[in-house]
Amino acid sequence: MTTLIIRKPDDWHLHLRDGAMLEAVLPHTAAHFARAIVMPNLVPPIVTAAQAAAYRERIMAALPERLDFNPLMTLYLTEETDAADVEAGFRNGLVVAVKLYPAGATTNSQSGVREIERVYPVLERMAAIGMPLCIHGEVTNPEIDIFDREAVFIETVLDPLRKRIPGLRVVMEHVTTRDGVDYVRSQDKDMAATITTHHLMINRNAILAGGIRPHYYCLPVAKREVHRLALRDAAVSGDARFFLGTDSAPHTDPLKENACGCAGIFSAPNTLACLAHVFEEENALDRLEAFVSLNGPGFYRLPPNESRIRLERRNEPVGFPTKIETGDGPVTVFDPMVSLHWNVTVEAG
Ligand code: NCD
Ligand code: ZN
């Protein structure tokens, strides 16, 4: 049996939702992760530091007592965002990053940014104080093919933004293309990217070949195999600019299995078992800790976690529930389409 003991991981991109859904999904992340960057795309979105403080309290109230977990809050950038409020939230340690959603790019992004020039004053303030900007990197122009939206975003929005505000620290969230990986590698240490678990495991065939499978639909949508391989290469490379953001994003089954199904994959329960599987396949188990526990804190200038988790490889497959029940209805868990053999536990002490 292979055993791996690594620092407790953090999830640098997570959707916890609110209310009954929050209560049901939070324990799955908090069981294995010490911290997570909590996405602000609630309805209505979390746009002020005061709203982030209130949301953080709701998360802490939903946390089972036995679990130790620190939610790192983000603000949803709008064209009305007040730079002074952002700075105050960052300086008092409550808000760790701002999230930019191009308006209409994904779930609950209607109040996002339409004209990036309008948010330059906030971004300039963030550059001055060293506060990271997390970007959903897809254009929303209906003329651009959905599989090309990330690459076009890099060329038409991200690169001009970096040239205009070079000191701004940027995370390209859930990068899904070779273009994105190449772009990050071409830049300095102020440009990083998160990679999801599912984008390391599936390509677009999972969604579309042999029947339409809505539980594999997320945004950015999974791309061709060459892109998945580029993401794997980046994740296992040890390059400090790439780190885990699961983008675990629960929607109830009726909302997924629908003529117009929601985007989002819920992977929190089995995400670390999946990642150990991927790193084992890539002969890179010695670099799993960098990807899940070290590179993220490095970029966010936070100390890595002192506690540890244990990953044990079993000969027999380790089972996971196919669904969890929530007060809002059942939520399907990401099915990696391979059997998983890694059992994850938190080390005592
Ligand atoms: C996310 C959600 O459901 O909130 N969906 C998704 O497909 N990833 C939003 C997002 O991160 O794009
Ligand atoms: Zn997300």
Closest C-alpha to ligand 1, atom 11: 247
Q: Which atom of ligand 1 is nearest to the CA of 109?
A: 9
Average confidence (pLDDT) over 120-141: 97
- Tokens at 5, concatenated: 């003991």
| CB distance 196 to ligand 1 below 6 Å | no
C-alpha triplet 63, 69, 70: angle, nearest 5°: 110
Mutate to test the pocket of ligand 1, among 12, 38, 106, 266 (most ligand atoms within 8 A of CB): 106
Lowest pLDDT segment from 107-116, 234-243, 250-259: 107-116
Whether pLDDT at 321 is above 90:
yes
Mean pLDDT of 199-221: 98
Pairing assessment for the beta strands 10-14 and 191-195 based on DSSP bridges: unpaired
Ligand 2 center from residue 259 Cα (angstroms): 22
- State the average pLDDT for the chain: 97
Q: Which protein residue's CA is at the shortest distance from atom 4 of ligand 1? A: 107
pLDDT, mean of residues 8-37 = 98
| Ligand 1 contact, 15 CB (< 6 A) | yes
Please state the pTM of the whole predicted model. 0.98
Question: What whole-number percentage of the chain has pLDDT above 90?
Answer: 97
Q: Phi then psi for 268, rounded to 5 degrees?
A: -55, -40
Ligand 1 centre distance from Cα of residue 157 (Å): 20
pLDDT at 106: 86
Query: 73 pLDDT exceeds 80?
Result: yes
Distance 110 CA to ligand 1 centre (A): 13
* Active site residue ranges: 247
Q: Report strand pairing: 133-135 vs 308-313.
A: unpaired
Average pLDDT over residues 58-73: 98
Q: Are 103 and 111 in contact (CB under 8 A)?
A: yes
Query: Do 106 and 94 form a contact (C-beta atoms < 8 A)?
Result: no
Compute the distance between CA of residue 228 and CA of residue 244 in angstroms, rounded to an integer: 15
End-to-end CA distance of the chain: 23
Residue 54: per-residue pLDDT: 98
What is the rounded average pLDDT of the residues 259-269?
Answer: 98
Amino acid 107: pLDDT: 85
Q: Judge contact between 82 and 106, C-beta under 8 A.
A: no
- 84 falls in which pLDDT band (50, 70, 90)? very high
Residue located via tokens 């899940």 = 292
Question: Does a cis peptide bond (omega within 30 degrees of 0) precede residue 330?
Answer: no
Which phi and psi angles does 298 have, rounded to 5°?
-60, -50
Say how many Å lie between the CA of residue 14 and the centre of ligand 2: 6
Encode pLDDT of 135-182 as tens digits.
999 999 999 999 999 999 999 999 999 999 999 999 999 999 999 999
Q: What gap in Å lies between CA 34 and CA 305, rounded to an integer?
A: 7
pLDDT digits (tens, 9 = 90+) for 44-62: 999 999 999 999 999 999 9
Q: Are 172 and 190 in contact (CB under 8 A)?
A: no
Q: Could you please report the per-residue DSSP string of 163-222?
A: HHSTT--EEETT--SHHHHHHHHHS-TTEEEEE-HHHHH--THHHHTTS--GGG--SSPP
pLDDT category of residue 1 using cuts at 50, 70 and 90: low
- Taking residue 232's Cβ as centre, other Cβ atoms within 10 Å add up to 20
Is 70 exceeded by the pLDDT of residue 199?
yes
pLDDT band at 349 (very low <50, low <70, confident <90, very high): confident
Q: pLDDT band for position 94 (50/70/90)?
A: very high
Residues 186, 190, 191, 192, CA torsion sign: positive
Q: Which atom of ligand 1 lies at the shortest distance from residue 136's CA?
A: 12
Domains of the chain: 3-346 (3.20.20.140)
16 close to 72: Cβ distance less than 8 angstroms: no
Which-ligand-closest: CA of 218?
1
348 or 147, higher pLDDT: 147
| Mutate-to-test residue for ligand 1 from 219, 223, 334, highest number of ligand atoms within 8 A of CB | 219
**Ligand 1 centroid to 188 CA: how many Å?**
27
Q: Is 246 in the pocket of ligand 1 (CB under 6 A)?
A: no
The identity of residue 333, as a single letter, is V
